[in-house]
Amino acid sequence: MRVILWVLASMGFMYAVLGLKNSIDQEEVKIQNTIDSLQNVIDSLQLQIDTIQYESIDTTVIHWPWGREEFYYFKYKNNNDGDLLSALIFVESSDNDSAYRACEDAVGCLQIRKTMVDDINRILKRRGISKRYTYIDRWSRDRSIEMFNIYKNYYGLETPEEIARCWNGGPRGINNPSTVGYWEKVKDKINS
């Protein structure tokens, strides 16, 4: 009889421990779900903040081997370049940093392909700059904008039409008639 009571007591104790563990696990899942949902709220708020028009200056310093330094200042938002950049981001990804077009492997807010990252790294290497971008950097809005500015400045693109059409069609995109429709979409977004 004692053995049966002891077995029943042991089983009751084990069920109580397992029930407590299960309840703790469920509480941890609830906490994790709350954290995840709060993270989604924070991410969406960050996206809202990113899309608000603000003024920012990005500085790139080039240190040449012979001692000369060049400073490049990229000012965007609240100016024509900012309007153009915002329009490009909208046309490319509907302002979505997580946009992905599988058939082209185009990634991020500016829908950057791997060949663009390779071109940017080639430009940086030619200029003696040690910084390099990875394919993962295409998912970052800031790094995508940095690559956009390097591309735009290297190819000497100045007018909004020239910038947009060459972003869409490559360095000679301004001469490609198929980029006209893309420019019209960007221009409509700038003027809206």
| CA–CA dist 170, 166 (Å, integer) | 5
Give the SS3 label for residue 190: helix
Using an 8 Å Cβ cutoff, are 192 and 176 in contact?
no
pTM of the model: 0.58
106 or 44: which carries more pLDDT confidence? 106
- The pLDDT value recorded for residue 61 is 58
Helix (H) / strand (E) containing 73: strand 69-76
Tokens 């709220």 correspond to 41
Least confident of 72-76, 94-98, 109-113, 175-179: 72-76
| CA–CA dist 80, 122 (Å, integer) | 28
Give me the chain's average pLDDT, please: 77
- The pLDDT value recorded for residue 14 is 65
| CA–CA dist 26, 52 (Å, integer) | 39
Give me the helix-helix angle, 141-154 and 114-126, nearest 10°.
60
Residues above pLDDT 90, as percent of the chain: 41
| CA–CA dist 183, 168 (Å, integer) | 9
Tokens 């049966």 correspond to 4
Find the Cα–Cα–Cα–Cα dihedral 44, 47, 48, 52, rounded to 10°. 170
Binning pLDDT at 50, 70 and 90, where does residue 158 land? confident
Binning pLDDT at 50, 70 and 90, where does residue 75 land? very low
Question: For residue range 1-29, what is the model confidence (pLDDT) as tens digits?
Answer: 666 766 666 666 666 655 655 666 666 65
Binning pLDDT at 50, 70 and 90, where does residue 79 land? very low
Q: What is the DSSP letter of 110?
A: T
Using an 8 Å Cβ cutoff, are 168 and 108 in contact?
no
Question: For residue range 164-173, what is the model confidence (pLDDT) as tens digits?
Answer: 999 999 889 8
Find the mean pLDDT for residues 21-50: 59
Using an 8 Å Cβ cutoff, are 139 and 98 in contact?
yes
| CA–CA dist 59, 150 (Å, integer) | 11
